[in-house]
Amino acid sequence: MKEWVELLNERERTVTDLQNVEFDLATNESHSEYWMRFEIGQHTGENIVNGKLGINLNGANIGYYMFARDYSKNAEDISIHIYMQPIGMIEFVRSQNNIDFNGLPVTRSGSVGKETGTGKLTFRFAANYTGTIKNVKVYAR
């Protein structure tokens, strides 16, 4: 079995008034499997950031509308296991730092696009986001 390789490990990024937040991956090669984890801090800007968080990994859209929420209310910790082969599938866990959300359900979805080799991980918020994105890690094999 192929070994896991680290493509991204960024401890913390402070974001000020951006809709797209982009990270460079170590390579733009396609892989059959990815493991990704990140924490999105509570939005601290004046506008409301409520809606879809688009995730694009090496050109592939990941989890279309699966991460839609109001980022102005609380932080969120997300872990995603992405299977590109033999069939596009994701499994993810999301944990919100809020007394109302103390369970950690695992969700499975077939919402995985085709890689185009951009060598980037991009988060696209519904509106300009201000806050901190922490512990962004991507591994592949």
Q: Identity (one letter) of the amino acid at 2?
A: K
Full domain range(s) for residue 71: 5-140
Look at residue 128 in the predicted model and tell me its pLDDT. 97
C-alpha to C-alpha distance for 12 and 40, rounded to whole angstroms: 10
Look at residue 99 in the predicted model and tell me its pLDDT. 55
Look at residue 73 in the predicted model and tell me its pLDDT. 83
Look at residue 77 in the predicted model and tell me its pLDDT. 84
Look at residue 72 in the predicted model and tell me its pLDDT. 86
Mean pLDDT (10-residue bins), the chain, 141 residues: 94 97 98 95 93 93 79 85 88 66 67 93 96 97 96
C-alpha to C-alpha distance for 44 and 53, rounded to whole angstroms: 16
Based on the structure, what is the number of domains in the chain?
A: 1
State the CATH number of the domain containing residue 30.
2.60.40
What is the reported pTM? 0.89
